Chains A and B, each alone.
Chain A
Amino acid sequence: MRERHASRTFDVINAIAILFFVLICLAPFLHIIAISLSSARAIMTGEVSLIPVDLNWNAYKQVFSDMSMIRSLGFTVMLTLLFTLLCMLMTIAAAYPLAKTGLKGRKPLMFIIVITMFFSGGIIPEYMLVRNLHLLDTVWALVLPGLISPFYLIILITFFQNIPDSLEESAQIDGSSYIRTLVSIIIPLSLPVIATLSLFYAVGRWNGFTDTLMYITSPEMYPLQLKLYQLVQNNMVSELMQMEGASGQSMLQPESLKAASVIFATVPILIVYPWLQRYFVNGVMIGAVKG
Chain B
Amino acid sequence: MSPVSGRNRKQKGANALKLGMYFRRHWQLYALLILPISYFLLFKYGPMYGVIIAFKDFNFFQGINGSKWIGFDAFREVFAMKDFYKTLRNTLMLNFLDLLLSFPAPLILAIMLYELKSVWFKKLSQTILYIPHFISWVIIGGIVYQVFGTQSGMINNIVTSLGFDAIPFLTDKNDWLLTYLLVGVWQSAGWGTIIYLAALTGINKELFEAAEVDGAGRLRKIWSITLPSLKPTIVTLLIINLGNMIAIGFERPYIIGNTAVREYSDVLSTFVYRIGIESGQYTLATVVGLFQAVVGLVFVLGANYASKKLADQSIL
Interface residues of A (CB under 8 A from B): 3, 6-7, 10-11, 14-15, 17-19, 21-22, 24-29, 31-32, 35, 43-44, 46-49, 90-91, 93-94, 96-98, 100, 103-104, 109, 112-113, 116, 118-129, 132, 144-145, 147-148, 177-179, 182, 203, 206-210, 214, 225-226, 228-229, 232, 255, 258-259, 261-262, 265-266, 269-270, 273, 276-277, 280-281, 284-285, 288-289, 291
Contact = CB atoms under 8 A, between A and B. Distances in A.
A129 B46 contact: yes
Interface stretch (B1-9, B84-92, B121-129): B121-129
Given A6-B218, A214-B277, A145 B43 contact: yes
B53 A22 contact: no
Interface string B194-215: 1100110000000000000001
B32 A210 contact: no
Contacts of B145: 232, 258
Contact of A284 (B28, B131, B161, B194): B194
Given A18-B112, A124-B272, A127-B276, A35 B217 contact: no
A128 B64 contact: yes
B301 to A, nearest CB: 8
Contacts of B300: 118
A209 B138 contact: yes
Contacts of A26: 128
Contacts of A104: 19, 22, 26
Contact of A128 (B31, B35, B113, B282): B282
Contact of A119 (B49, B189, B293, B315): B293
A47 B154 CA distance: 9
A98 to B, nearest CB: 8
Given A7-B217, A22-B128, A119-B293, A265 B29 contact: no
Given A7-B218, A116-B44, A125-B286, A24 B29 contact: no
Nearest to B30: A97
Contacts of B215: 3
A228 B138 contact: yes
B36 A46 contact: no
Given A123-B273, A128-B50, A255 B152 contact: yes
> Taking chain B's interface residues, is the majority helix, strand, or loop, or is none over half, making it mixed?
helix
Given A7-B218, A207-B136, A269-B134, A121 B142 contact: no
9 contacts: A28-B186, A32-B146, A49-B154, A49-B158, A123-B269, A125-B47, A127-B276, A145-B43, A255-B152
Contacts of B190: 25
B129, B189, B236: residue with the most chain A Cβ atoms closer than 10 Å: B129
Given A127-B277, A266-B135, A210 B286 contact: no
Nearest to A126: B47
Given A21-B109, A288-B198, A124 B285 contact: yes
A203 B134 contact: yes
A179 to B, nearest CB: 5
A11 B157 CA distance: 34
Contacts of B315: 291
Contacts of B293: 119-122
Contacts of A291: 236, 315
A94 B51 CA distance: 27
A123 B43 contact: no
Given A97-B33, A119-B293, A122-B292, A6 B217 contact: yes
Given A94-B37, A122-B47, A209-B138, 18 more contacts: A10-B217, A10-B218, A14-B115, A18-B112, A19-B125, A28-B146, A32-B143, A46-B161, A97-B29, A103-B29, A113-B40, A120-B44, A122-B51, A122-B272, A129-B47, A258-B145, A269-B134, A270-B131
A119 B306 CA distance: 20
A123 B35 CA distance: 23
B219 interface: yes
B130 interface: yes
A232 B141 contact: yes
Contacts of B251: 209-210
Contacts of B199: 288
A21 B129 contact: yes
Contacts of A43: 152
Contact of A118 (B152, B236, B297): B297
B186 A24 contact: yes
Nearest to B216: A3
Contact of B143 (A11, A29, A132, A270): A29
A244 B36 CA distance: 48
B39 A90 contact: yes
A48 B141 CA distance: 19
Given A10-B219, A28-B143, A179-B28, A144 B138 contact: no
Contacts of A116: 40, 44-45
A32 B147 CA distance: 8
Given A3-B217, A228-B139, A210 B250 contact: yes
